[in-house]
Structure 1
């Protein structure tokens, strides 16, 4: 990991994700896609979370949502061979990317998200038979994997409702609790810390947003959650991807958390985009 302009930290050097990573397997593996995105291969069941995997046409370093990339993508949407489901936590374009989503129709995966997300997927041309909306605490079963939808608080539009519009409500965003044969993964989603987050248990891998934005956990609360889930391994994300040292949601310093997380030497993982992690439940 290196330091960019100002105080912005850059993720480790990208490692390509290949077609072999989508093949059948006897374990559950996770790859950070950069930003807030992940690929999970659980014994051949393939899940993507919030993928942003397309570059602006003709540009080597500007992604589809208009930001300069600090690191290359580990895979682009047109190279993804197959998916069983694509999970979207909310509408922000660094989670629901408007070019990547239609490009993934051909994978055959089920697109899943809150009602407002599914409406946008329909607008983007996703076929009706290929998307489905879910509510908080509902479950989706894909093969041997069970996905539950967990509560968040990400009403960032309250910064200026006249400029940004109505804030996200309690059913407009969520996280994902993903139970696999090899252990349980929790993708918390973009959120301020809620009391129920600190009541979560049975998590083997925490996909932890480490950005320092006031409508995200922030460093202090990310550490608090990590230390509450004291037996969980942790993968840091939501940092080191997009150029913008003045954008708090793009910034976070894994070193600041590592020094405060109990047992960080063995359980806090700063992956490169495209680097494989094998779940050990």
Structure 2
């Protein structure tokens, strides 16, 4: 299988500085960074220490990161909950928000994290953030992982982030759920385009795109891990464009390239 490969643009300290709008960066894999008028939020940052070979590196390393107002973690998989990344960034992070289960895992390695119920809301510098539901308990189908514990729906989430310049939705890793098709309108969806049965899948991408036909889509979870046999790490924006309504609103960005909401710099 030939993999689509994401391009990369290096980021530096300037990406963490105060700006007059909101910029959203894909960090590779399932991760993202939001700088909303100087408030910096990382979602599922994986900057180092992954246990699989990569095609496209993260756009900056932990030593290059600036101040981080909050980190949001959607679930416990190590391509989203990177212990190595978080431990090396901990002195720069003000807050970590996640599900109750991942908060417990964070505390076990010495990281203070706030656990939330699904649909809970909290604020970071006036930005309202709400946990949205996700269906990703693949571990219960695994003979190895199901022996550890029974995973619940509440262990996985997405995040709806309401900035001054627009609403950003990170659904997180998830099979398609009816509730995900009935959200209030948003201004950007960070769209997982991998075609795995425990992810939204191409059919799910098509349905979600149809549910929000005018919303810009930023494809993620593709082109960064060197694993052609793993559907979880593969996807092709060109294939997605052929399947969705209004394909011109699929913004294929390089890792580290900004998508802007609000007034341009």
TM-score (norm 2): 0.95
In structure 1, distance between residues paired with 2:43 and 2:254: 17
Which 10-residue stretch deviates more, 252-261 or 22-31? 252-261
Distance apart, 1:109 and its partner CA: 2.2
Distance apart, 1:204 and its partner CA: 0.7
Q: Which runs of 4+ in 1 moved over 4 A?
A: none
Aligned residue among 207, 215, 232 for 1:224: 207
Aligned residue among 149, 158, 162 for 2:131: 149
CA RMSD in angstroms comes to 1.3
Distance apart, 1:167 and its partner CA: 4.6
Match in the other structure for 1:262: 245
Determine if the alignment matches structure 1 residue 119 to structure 2 residue 100: no
Contact 2:71 2:93 in 1 (8 A): no
Contact 1:33 1:273 in 2 (8 A): yes
Match in the other structure for 2:74: 89
Contact 2:132 2:160 in 1 (8 A): yes
Q: Deviations over 1:205-257 (max 9, x none)?
A: 00001011101110111111012111210000011111111111111111111
Aligned residue among 18, 23, 30 for 1:29: 23
In structure 2, distance between residues paired with 1:158 and 1:83: 34
Alignment of 1:1-281 (within 5 A): 6-12=1-7, 14-54=8-48, 64-126=49-111, 128=112, 131-160=113-142, 162-165=143-146, 166-265=149-248, 267-280=249-262
Contact 1:38 1:49 in 2 (8 A): yes
Unaligned runs of 5+ in 1: 1-5, 55-63
Match in the other structure for 1:60: none
Contact 2:71 2:96 in 1 (8 A): yes
Which 10-residue stretch deviates more, 92-101 or 256-265? 256-265
Partner of 1:222, secondary structure, is helix
Contact 1:201 1:229 in 2 (8 A): no
Partner of 1:226, secondary structure, is helix
Unaligned runs of 5+ in 2: none
Distance apart, 1:159 and its partner CA: 2.8
Partner of 1:104, secondary structure, is helix
Give the number of equivalent residue pairs.
261
Contact 1:148 1:176 in 2 (8 A): yes
Distance apart, 1:7 and its partner CA: 2.7
In structure 2, distance between residues paired with 1:167 and 1:190: 18
Distance apart, 1:140 and its partner CA: 1.3
In structure 2, distance between residues paired with 1:45 and 1:274: 17
